[in-house]
Amino acid sequence: MKTESMKTGTDHDFRGWKRWFAPGLCLAILSLCVGAALAHNHEKGEIQLHHPWSRATPPGAKVGVAYMEIRNSGAQPDKLLSISTKVARVVEMHVSERDGEVMKMRQVKAFEIPARASYALRPGGSHLMLVDLAAPLKKGERFTMTLRFERAGELEIELEVQEQGSRHPRH
């Protein structure tokens, strides 16, 4: 025996709505997640930058750091020649090296990005030093940098500021 809602078709309409609503909602959420993930990857020619990030700094700090992975899919090496950002007066390229029992940091003029390889900027290794910060970097903020490569040219990227003491990106 049919109920009144079945005779009018309202029950059928509800089932149709449920059939399209759940997949549509999942698709919308997936689109937002993919969009957020793509926001942390940047590409110019044969150079790709993955997960650029920085650490929050304490109040009054005048230096910060930035990290990322730089991939070169090309057949020729490239060089990262310079970096600029509005959050710091100067951005320096640094490498960390062990000298006996002591880790030392030294400034370099460029980072060589080998052909068909990656160059990682990470805590305890190569990194970008943000010198003379305009303001402390706060967790959750984002800022832009312009990187200048010898072959690929200029690439503007966005970095996300992670908590103080982070050892890897959390996005």
Pair (33, 59) in one structural domain? no
**pLDDT of the residue at 36:** 39
Whether residue 169 is contained in a domain is answered as no
Whether residue 168 is contained in a domain is answered as no
Q: SS3 breakdown of the chain: % helix, strand, coil, rounded to 5? A: 20, 50, 30
- Host H or E run for residue 23: helix 10-38
Report the predicted TM-score, pTM, of the whole model to 2 decimal places: 0.74
Pair (15, 81) in one structural domain? no
Pair (120, 152) in one structural domain? yes
Pair (151, 89) in one structural domain? yes
Measured CA to CA in angstroms, residue 90 lies from 67, 70, 76, 93 at distances of: 16, 20, 28, 10
Whether residue 136 is contained in a domain is answered as yes
Whether residue 59 is contained in a domain is answered as yes
**pLDDT of the residue at 31:** 41
Pair (127, 69) in one structural domain? yes
CATH code, domain carrying 49: 2.60.40.1890
SS (H, E, C) 88-111: EEEEEEEEEEEECCEEEEEEECCE
User: Average pLDDT of the chain?
Assistant: 82
pLDDT > 80? residue 27? no
Pair (115, 153) in one structural domain? yes
Give residue 169's pLDDT band: very low, low, confident or very high (50, 70, 90).
Answer: low
Pair (33, 76) in one structural domain? no
Summarised one tens digit per residue, pLDDT across range 38-94 is: 346 787 889 999 999 999 999 999 999 999 999 999 999 999 999 999 999 999 999
**pLDDT of the residue at 99:** 82
Distance from C-alpha of 127 to C-alpha of 167, rounded to nearest angstrom = 12
CB 6 within 8 A of CB 12: yes
Pair (47, 122) in one structural domain? yes
Pair (58, 90) in one structural domain? yes
Pair (109, 51) in one structural domain? yes
- 54 lies in which domain range? 42-162
Pair (33, 60) in one structural domain? no
